[in-house]
Amino acid sequence: MFQALIHKHADDLTDNDYYILDYIERHPDDAQKMTIIALSDACMTSKSTILRLTQKLGFSGFSEFKYFLKEHAPKEENLSDLFELSRYDIDYTCQLFEEIEKQPIYEGINQAQKLYGFATGFGQENALRELKRYLFTSGKHLYHLPALTEFQMALKEMTPDDFVILISLSGDVNPILNDLKRLKAKGISTLSITSFKNNHLAEHSTYHLYYQSTDLGTFNGHMQKSFIGLQVLIDLLFRGFLDYKKNS
């Protein structure tokens, strides 16, 4: 919910605002207890800057903002068991999905003259291929762009009638940042699908969906990440799209 709130008001936020929000995101327990003076000191800014930020986010003041943080704080659970981690990723992804207004996303996919998809990473590519298979059964063809070169070539031919789906884990996609700006300049709608965090891809996309991806620990010298949240999100997106088609 916190990330959805930031994305909703992204156009009104300054770099200093993002610095403050990043601090709050990294210190959620402390932020819930801090006074406005303590938070301003921690972020090396003024009380008035903090107050203006809370108002930009739609709150009457700092007290209401703190109440929001407490109400939407993740509930503490014992997540040491790998199967419990899977359940947590699934449940939290479903919660994030419910909090997003999805009607414009379904309309964008349905009305697109051409539907494109681009993913960064092996797990994300698998999810995109699954989404392509799902959409094909509903009569929508998704052009899967397998590499950056193909993405940039297709971008030259894209029009405002097209729709682009971008899947990433971190959402920190510096290699395509200029391409995202070109998509926006050309009036092309985009949907970002990323793990739940503030990121460049979500900030530069027309619409966004988040999934929960938990670290599973290091095995054989490699950090393991769970993509079950992404798989669930792809399934939810398609189910929602089918429901939209049936009722439109």
Q: Is 29 exposed, middle or buried (0-12, 13-18, 19+ CB in 10 A)?
A: exposed
Are the CB atoms for 79 and 214 separated by under 8 Å? yes
| Residue bearing tokens 């050309």 | 186
Would you call 173 helix, strand, or coil by DSSP? coil
pLDDT at 137 over 80: yes
Q: Specify the higher pLDDT residue, 4 or 181.
A: 181
pTM of the predicted model as reported, rounded to 2 decimal places: 0.70
CA 54 to chain centre: 21
What string of H, E and C letters represents the secondary structure of 50-72?
A: HHHHHHHCCCCCHHHHHHHHHHC
Instruction: Using only the alpha carbons of the chain, give its radius of gyration.
Output: 19
What integer pLDDT is reported at residue 216 of this predicted model?
74
pLDDT at 28 over 90: no
225-243: pLDDT as tens digits: 789 999 999 999 999 999 9
Are the CB atoms for 172 and 188 separated by under 8 Å? no
Domains present along the chain, CATH in parentheses: 2-71 (1.10.10.10), 82-247 (3.40.50.10490)
Fill in the DSSP letter of residue 11.
G
| Residue bearing tokens 């994305």 | 7
What integer pLDDT is reported at residue 78 of this predicted model?
46
CA 220 to chain centre: 30
pLDDT at 13 over 90: no
Q: Is 114 exposed, middle or buried (0-12, 13-18, 19+ CB in 10 A)?
A: middle
